[in-house]
Structures are given as structure tokens and as C-alpha cells.
Amino acid sequence: MKLNTLFIAGVCASALLASCSPNTAKENQLKYTHTSLVDGDAYHFFKLVGAKVVYEADYAAYAETVAGSSQAKQLAAKVTEVYKTLIPALDSLATAGQVDFPILGAEKFVAPAEQRAAVADSTVVEAHAYSAAYSDDSYIHHVQHETAVIKDQFDRLSRNTNKALREFAHAHIEKIEEIYTLAGGKADAHAHH
């Protein structure tokens, strides 16, 4: 009887140990603890750039329809073109690094007319419930500022220890710099080593 008990206990222990693989433990850790496979700088890049690119692409699509000056229309078209192609690439890279994308809680662009309608329908009106009406100059200034932030993040990512992230940054930084100079920003003379 002792032999049968030991045999059954041995079979159960073997089955239990065989079912615990390091890959399963790694998957469960990533799944339940919300950790990612990228370092802190790359995670910050995905959170910041991931939120800004989606917002800016929607804002540019709106600006392209209402812009009065040719400079603003050209800038909006370029922003839409670059960021709409950048979003799927960011999504793929974030998925590979196990970072949530699209960014949860990121601000969504809402056209000023839609903002006013939403405020009119609500019962509580906040002090800054909707922004001022669109103007070409404010849009160009906005794009210059936001693209400078995105360009800085791409510059930082180009020095990351992860080879795939570095290659991604090097592949897209010229497009971001082109938007920046198109918006009136000054190209950094020391940017390319």
C-alpha cells in the first residue's frame, strides 16, 4: 500500500512540475502585473508620443478642412500623412514590447463646433469647456510646439539600448524633423553626428 501511495504521489508531483514552465510564468507575470518588456525611457516614449500622435493626426485632418492659408493646409496634409503612417508602426512596436496601445486615457481631438455642442447639451459648464475658434497661426504654432516634443522623444529613443527601438527612431526621425521645419522650427545644426 505504501508503494502505491508513493507511486501516485510521484505521478502527481511529476505532472505538476511538468506543467510549470518558465514561459508560462513569464506570460502570467506580464499579464497580471502590467509590466512591459521595454525600459523606462521607451515606456515614457510610448505613453507620450502614442498619445500625441493620435491627437495630432485627428487635429491635422480637421485643420486640413478648415485652414485658410496654403502653409497651414500644406502643414496639415504633411502631419496627417506622416502620423497616420506612424500610428500602425507604433502599435506594432508597442505590441512587441507589451505596452498598451492606444494609450488609455489619452486626450481625443474634438473640433471646436463639436465641443460647443457637447457643452450646450451638458448641465454643468466648466470654465474651459471648449477652446477658442481655429486659426491658422495658432495651428502652426501648436504643431511646431508639439512636434518639438515628439522630435525630442525620437531623439532620445535613437539612443536606447534596444536595437529595434533605435532602428525605429532612426527610420522616422527625418519625417518628424521635416514637419518641424515646415512648421517654422529651426533645424538643429548638430543633430546628425
Q: What is the CATH number of the domain that holds 135?
A: 1.20.1260
Distances (CA, A) of 125 to 7, 110, 114, 120: 73, 16, 15, 8
Q: Whole-structure pTM over 0.85, yes or no?
A: no
Question: Is 21 within a domain?
Answer: no
> Which of 84, 92, 134, 88 is CA-nearest to residue 114?
134
pLDDT of residue 129: 40
Question: Is 14 within a domain?
Answer: no
How far is the C-alpha of 141 from the C-alpha of 44, rounded, in Å?
Answer: 24
Question: Is 114 within a domain?
Answer: yes
Band of pLDDT at residue 132, cut at 50, 70 and 90: low
Which of 10-19, 34-43, 82-91, 93-102 holds the top average pLDDT? 82-91
Q: Write out pLDDT tens, residues 56-93.
A: 999 999 999 998 899 999 999 999 999 999 999 999 99
* Structural domain span for residue 172: 38-182
Question: Is 116 within a domain?
Answer: yes
Question: Is 12 within a domain?
Answer: no
